[in-house]
Structure 1
Amino acid sequence: MQPQVKTSTPHIPESNRGFRAWWQLTRPHTLTAAFVPVFLGTALALQEGTIDYGLFTAMLLACLLIQAATNMFNEYYDFKRGLDTEHSVGIGGAIVRDGIKPKTVMQLALVLYGLSILLGIYICMETSWWIAVIGSVSMLMGYLYTGGPYPIAYTPFGELFAGFFMGCLIILISFYIQAGFVTATSVFVSVPVSILVGAILLANNIRDHDGDKEFGRKTLAILLGRENAINFLAAMFIAAYALVVIMIGLGIASPWAAIVILSAPKAIKAIKGFKAGKVPIQMMPAMKSTAQTNTIFGFLLSIGLFIGHFI
């Protein structure tokens, strides 16, 4: 049985909180996991024809809104289950440290979901209503990540779900709404980015290893143990870069895609940071480097594909 923690919110009038508190509520370091796949899927679609920038913008905004809402569900349910306190380390804490009411967090998350649905309707009207089915499942998974009786985040499958729904699926939808079909190339290219999206979650779980274990969570980091989880994170980085090399060798991707290697120093910094860190606060820079690896890798891969299309 999980230990019970008494939680309370500081008495700070919500109107007196600055922009930073509300911005932090979206957990901005995770938003790269939403917009990088959209850019990459669109860059891939450019090889099949012209780009509809209206659809691109709608897809980008919808994904950012869904990711931000998912983070707010996380904030809400971590507070409700006693995982977040004013002493917790991390970018979360709008409720326990900034005094934003839990009800406000949930309502804001639902508003963001509502806005993303409106954008989704526009995308469906311009493409296919099958997108509505896929999008609905993705939104449900975003809620069930920390909501519901059996949160995905509390299991060893969080990285897998995050990588698939926030990596692979977004890339393929972004490609489909532009091209009208899905190719084997788009599927192959989605894999390394999906791995790096999962890596962001694993990095978060490595940092929170001790606290999560105390509260009865069964994340991949806990299942593997801290040291093995760090080694697994390193293997994920290596796999992402190796897959790009393989795709270039097979002619699936342009040789220009090799510029992703420029993001490797961030991955190395992340692994070194986790190995050196002993407490959560010391591992925050390593978490940041992991998210930056995903961002830089994705953008460089998009640029490489874009250049390869015109040369």
Structure 2
Amino acid sequence: MCTVGQEDETVTFRQRLGLVWRLLRPFTLTASIVPVLIGSSLAFGQGHFRTSLFFAFLIASILIQSATNMFNEYFDHRRGLDTKEMVGIAGTIVHDGVSPKKVLAAAWTFILIAVLLGVYICAMSSWWIALVGVLCLAVAYFYSGGPKPLAYTPFGEIAASIAMGPVIVLLAYYIQESDITTRAVMVSVPIGLLIGAILLGNNIRDMEQDRIGGRRTVPILFGRERGRRLFAGVFILSYVLVLGLIATRELTLWALLVLLTIPSAVYVVRLYYRFSEPKQLHPAVKGTSQLLFRFGALLFVAMLIGSFVPLNV
């Protein structure tokens, strides 16, 4: 039987795990997992796949995304943008009392581990990857850090969606294949669009608070209604691109599996048109991240099956 002291230690351990879990913002990590899966599955279909490189790059991608989240929380708190009234995925500093210095230290620790993994990846593939990796790390930091953070401009969604979408997909493909193909570039585009949709949806939810904090995000620049239309348009374009890739035989008919996510996309878009309060829109932000994962997972499965049982138009 557990003693009272042991029970207290268990509760404390669980509380610490909960803090770490919230600090990582787990549902946002789909943006770091899906691009690696897509790029790797493209290479697998070409007959090239090294398990060690796959896992090293996947872990490095997750670490960089987690560090980006921590930088964002640290700098938003430092600038007074995060408060106890804020709704969203941040809050370990303002809600749980975690030291800002610890959050920043954790972010740099994650970056260091990612760099070490990057050295291994470069040694096993190409040192040119180091240059792209440095640019990705720069986006991770300057998205919310530095004197003029990208997150405070209309370019935040674009920079992050490119760095986390096409760039990660192509890196995952390149370390396996040692090449970049037109097909890989084209397949990476809908993934980047959906990652951008997560950021766009997040900024639609937070636009009033962001406006007060001095941000000039896309929804603030365009207005809520145009922001909603852009959000819905990104979803539509993602599906249209997949259909186009099937029609041009860049993807097999198995890729039609992604159409199973359309009901989820419709549901999320309706939430943004129905509500404007941050608390009511938070499930929509989560829903967008979940949609990316479902879309990416089905595309991943479709490409794996297609490499064994090709079906074309």
Question: Which one of the candidate residues 135, 138, 151 is aligned to 2:136?
Answer: 138
Question: Which one of the candidate residues 170, 193, 196 is aligned to 2:194?
Answer: 196
- Partners of 1:139 and 1:245 in 2: how far apart? 33
Deviation of 1:278 after TM superposition, in Å, equals 2.6
- Residue aligning to 1:246: 244
Structure 2: gaps (5+ residues): 1-11
SS in 2 for 1:136: helix
Deviation of 1:115 after TM superposition, in Å, equals 0.3
Cα deviations by residue, 1:278-308 (Å, 9 ceiling, x for unpaired): 3100001111111111111111111111111
Alpha carbons 2:41, 2:304 under 8 Å: kept: yes
- Partners of 2:184 and 2:14 in 1: how far apart? 47
- Residue aligning to 1:73: 71
Alpha carbons 2:194, 2:292 under 8 Å: kept: yes
Deviation of 1:213 after TM superposition, in Å, equals 1.0
Q: How does 1:247-266 map to 2 (within 5 A)?
A: 247-266=245-264
Identity of aligned residues (%): 45
SS in 2 for 1:31: helix
Deviation of 1:17 after TM superposition, in Å, equals 4.4
Structure 1: gaps (5+ residues): 1-13
Deviation of 1:255 after TM superposition, in Å, equals 1.0
- Partners of 1:268 and 1:241 in 2: how far apart? 12
- Residue aligning to 1:172: 170
Cα deviations by residue, 1:205-242 (Å, 9 ceiling, x for unpaired): 00001111122210001011111111110000000000
- Partners of 1:150 and 1:207 in 2: how far apart? 22
What is the total number of aligned residue pairs between the two structures?
298
Alpha carbons 2:205, 2:276 under 8 Å: kept: no
Q: What TM-score do the two structures reach when normalised by structure 1?
A: 0.94
Letter in 1 for 2:262: A
- Residue aligning to 2:8: none
- Partners of 1:309 and 1:82 in 2: how far apart? 51
- Partners of 1:26 and 1:227 in 2: how far apart? 31
- Partners of 1:306 and 1:21 in 2: how far apart? 36
- Residue aligning to 2:88: 90
Cα deviations by residue, 1:98-121 (Å, 9 ceiling, x for unpaired): 000000000000000000001001
Q: Does 1:284 align with 2:282?
A: yes
Deviation of 1:15 after TM superposition, in Å, equals 8.3
Q: Does 1:38 align with 2:27?
A: no
- Partners of 1:68 and 1:187 in 2: how far apart? 25
- Partners of 1:236 and 1:278 in 2: how far apart? 19
- Partners of 1:214 and 1:117 in 2: how far apart? 36
Question: Which one of the candidate residues 51, 58, 61 is aligned to 2:59?
Answer: 61
Q: How does 1:156-235 map to 2 (within 5 A)?
A: 156-235=154-233
Deviation of 1:66 after TM superposition, in Å, equals 0.2
Moved more, 177-186 or 44-53: 44-53
SS in 1 for 2:85: coil
Calculate the aligned-residue CA RMSD, in Å.
1.2
- Partners of 2:308 and 2:15 in 1: how far apart? 48
- Partners of 1:35 and 1:170 in 2: how far apart? 9
- Residue aligning to 1:301: 299
Alpha carbons 2:139, 2:160 under 8 Å: kept: no
- Residue aligning to 1:110: 108
Deviation of 1:18 after TM superposition, in Å, equals 2.8
- Partners of 1:180 and 1:215 in 2: how far apart? 44
- Partners of 1:126 and 1:183 in 2: how far apart? 20
Letter in 1 for 2:53: L
- Partners of 1:292 and 1:262 in 2: how far apart? 13
Residues 163, 16 of structure 1: alpha-carbon distance in 2 compared, 3 angstrom cutoff: closer
Letter in 2 for 1:265: P
Alpha carbons 2:57, 2:172 under 8 Å: kept: yes
Deviation of 1:50 after TM superposition, in Å, equals 3.2
Cα deviations by residue, 1:259-283 (Å, 9 ceiling, x for unpaired): 1001111111111111111310000
- Residue aligning to 1:7: none
| Runs of 4+ in structure 1 over 3 Å off | 14-17
Alpha carbons 2:33, 2:62 under 8 Å: kept: yes
Letter in 2 for 1:64: I
- Residue aligning to 1:8: none
Alpha carbons 1:17, 1:98 under 8 Å: kept: no
- Partners of 2:123 and 2:279 in 1: how far apart? 46
Alpha carbons 2:243, 2:256 under 8 Å: kept: yes
